[in-house]
Amino acid sequence: MPELANCSRCGAVYVKDIRDICHACFKEEEKSFRIVYDFLKQRKNREATLIEIVEATGVEEELIIKFIKEKRLRQSQFPKLTYPCERCGKQIISGNLCEACGKELKRDLKVHEHEETMHAKLRDRLKEKERTYFTLDKHKEK
């Protein structure tokens, strides 16, 4: 069943299908893609960087990054086409994080999981102690 949604770019109401943008914004994106692709397919521009493409075409950097992430612009065809890591800004060719940031994030997650496990064990021990009753034998010799 068709679903109404607001376009993530312009805010207009549209019938949502496979895209998260309205038809008018989709046409604009396609026009921008064609501009970028036509620029890059010229032999002299094949090794252009992201910044050079933005300056030459006037297309927004975020939109070009979207094209790269959607694999519409491939690094194999355009070797210097990279974009910044979302965490540290290092230039990458795929994903959201560079390899170093990804490893650091995984390490931090392991440390967090270990700490959570240790806290759970400590809570279990404290609960166990709460359930235990101790008696004193007043008449026992010391």
Q: Convert the pLDDT of each residue in 41-70 to its tens digit.
A: 998 988 899 999 999 999 999 999 999 988
- Please say whether the beta carbons of 73 and 67 come within 8 A: yes
Q: Tell me, what's the pLDDT at 8?
A: 86
Helix H segments across 42-98?
Answer: 50-57, 61-69
What is this structure's pTM?
Answer: 0.69
Q: Convert the pLDDT of each residue in 96-114 to its tens digit.
A: 999 999 999 999 999 999 9
> Structural domain boundaries of the chain?
3-84, 97-128
**What SS3 class is residue 122?**
helix
DSSP per position, 19-53: -SS-HHHHHHHHHHHHHHHHHHHSGGGTT--HHHH
Helix (H) or strand (E) holding 13: strand 13-16
